[in-house]
Amino acid sequence: MTIGAKTTYLDYNASAPLRPQARTVLLEALECEGNASSIHAFGRKASGVIEAARKDIAALVDALPANVAFTSGGTEANVTALSPIWLRNGQPFTLSKLFVSAVEHPSVLAGGRFSAEQVEQLPVDANGLLNLEILREKLGALPEGETALVAVMAANSETGVLQPLQEIGVIVEDAGHLLHVDAVQAAGRIALSQPMIASHSMAVSSHKIGGPQGVGALIMGKGDLRPAPLLTGGGQESWRRAGTHNTAGIAAFAAAARAALAEIPSLETQALRDQLEQELRLEQPDLVVFGADAPRLPGTTCLTVPGVVAETALIAFDLAGIAVSSGSACSSGKVGASHVLLAMGCEEDLARGALRISMGWNTSADEMQKFKREFLRIAARLQKKDRARAAS
């Protein structure tokens, strides 16, 4: 996306630009009066908008509309699911352990409502894929009668690497435990089926697919099984999440979801990514693409060359009118070695140079060529300085 004549936006994994369809619906909905919990005509109209939106959000992961509970975003959805108390047919039961992969989003690594002693990180391989044998061992070693929650992301926000969700789901289900999937980066970008994954909950977010910020959802799996609510008080969302509905945001989220699902068969962003990586390798044989040997999101690449420092490169790109990042936007305020890349076994100096380029619904081939030109220029300058420092 271009913002003005000279700015190129390549940070969709942080937040995608608002889609025209979502903008139109958002503005229209803001003109409507009424609280969706009110019983008068205005309230019923707002409630109808929300119920219609559930169908569109459920379609993102092939789920049941009744299982969609709207939240303020992906982080709230994750924290809601990461609870040591879940309800089965309305009756509470306790989870003794939370297993998370070492490359999770900060909202999952923090453990939600589990105590620090209950949270254990599981290792990944050099591509960032969860070690399934260790997952089996950890679940199998739990005392009889204990139930654990496994939390894993569908797609990594930094590298775009896709976890083998169906295999993970089988392992967790066969062992009799629960699975939460952070699908924030994947929903609306790749085909997902919650029943096929056999997850008990999934987190999705509006602004990652071109909807407004501040809206998300926790989508439950089959059966009457759900985490204890994070926000309590009113009976909104069938007592799953208290608080007045963001009706306009939810309506726009649904519009973005419809548009995103219609685009999923397209391979345009993958072609742009693959072309970029191929052309950069020709110019920079020492190019490192993190997670390149694993399945990835179509429009995400995380790369660097030795001698590049991300903090300096990001400033140079910004001055050149190109918006990229060095990792999760939720870790902004500092540019350091990514915990994701370190967990993958990457050396710290190389990890400090990693740049994430993420594309989406409005990315053009011209923008990718602009990035390539600037990357080669900036990398050459930084490598020259690095060699000079090494020689002094």
Residue 58 placed within a domain: yes
Residue 47 placed within a domain: yes
Residue 68 placed within a domain: yes
In this structure, are 195 and 291 located in the same domain?
no
Give the per-residue pLDDT at 390: 78
In this structure, are 119 and 247 located in the same domain?
yes
In this structure, are 78 and 184 located in the same domain?
yes
> CATH code at 276?
3.90.1150.10
Give the per-residue pLDDT at 223: 81
What are 222-268's pLDDT values in tens digits? 788 999 999 999 999 999 999 999 999 999 999 999 999 999 988 89
> CATH code at 74?
3.40.640.10
In this structure, are 177 and 286 located in the same domain?
no
Residue 315 placed within a domain: yes
In this structure, are 231 and 90 located in the same domain?
yes
**Spatial separation of the C-alpha atoms in residues 138 and 354, rounded to whole Å:** 32
Give the per-residue pLDDT at 387: 82
Q: Is 251 exposed, middle or buried (0-12, 13-18, 19+ CB in 10 A)?
A: buried
**Spatial separation of the C-alpha atoms in residues 188 and 16, rounded to whole Å:** 12
In this structure, are 291 and 259 located in the same domain?
no
Residue 386: give the domain boundaries. 8-17+267-391
In this structure, are 297 and 187 located in the same domain?
no
Query: Which residue, 204, 209, 325, 300, is CA-closest to 262?
Result: 209
Show the CA angle centred on residue 323, arms to residues 322 and 324, nearest 5°: 115
Q: In what order do the strands lie in the sheet containing 91-94?
A: 91-94, 85-88, 225-227
**Spatial separation of the C-alpha atoms in residues 281 and 107, rounded to whole Å:** 34
In this structure, are 236 and 331 located in the same domain?
no
Contact 211, 18 (CB under 8 A): yes
Contact 94, 85 (CB under 8 A): yes
CA distances from 184 to 81, 237, 268 (A): 14, 20, 21
CA distances from 356 to 24, 275, 301, 323, 328 (A): 30, 16, 6, 10, 9
In this structure, are 13 and 31 located in the same domain?
no
Residue 2 placed within a domain: no
Amino acid at 184: V
**Spatial separation of the C-alpha atoms in residues 354 and 297, rounded to whole Å:** 17
In this structure, are 309 and 228 located in the same domain?
no
Of 237, 263, 289, which residue is a domain's last? 263
In this structure, are 141 and 188 located in the same domain?
yes
Contact 229, 241 (CB under 8 A): yes
What SS3 class is residue 165? helix
**Beta strands per DSSP E along 1-84:** 8-9, 68-71
Q: How many structural domains comprise the chain?
A: 2
Q: How far is CA 389 from the centre of its chain?
A: 38
Q: What residues are paired with 30 via a beta bridge? A: none
Of 208, 238, 263, which residue is a domain's last? 263
Low-confidence ranges of the chain (pLDDT < 70): 1-5, 327-335
Residue appearing with tokens 């306009």: 248
CA distances from 118 to 8, 84, 91, 142, 152 (A): 43, 9, 22, 12, 16
What SS3 class is residue 88? strand
Q: Would you please indicate which residues are annotated as catalytic (active-site) residues?
A: 330
In this structure, are 118 and 188 located in the same domain?
yes
What are 159-191's pLDDT values in tens digits? 999 999 999 999 999 999 999 999 999 999 999
Give the per-residue pLDDT at 267: 84
Residue 290 placed within a domain: yes
Residue 3 placed within a domain: no
Of 263, 278, 313, which residue is a domain's last? 263
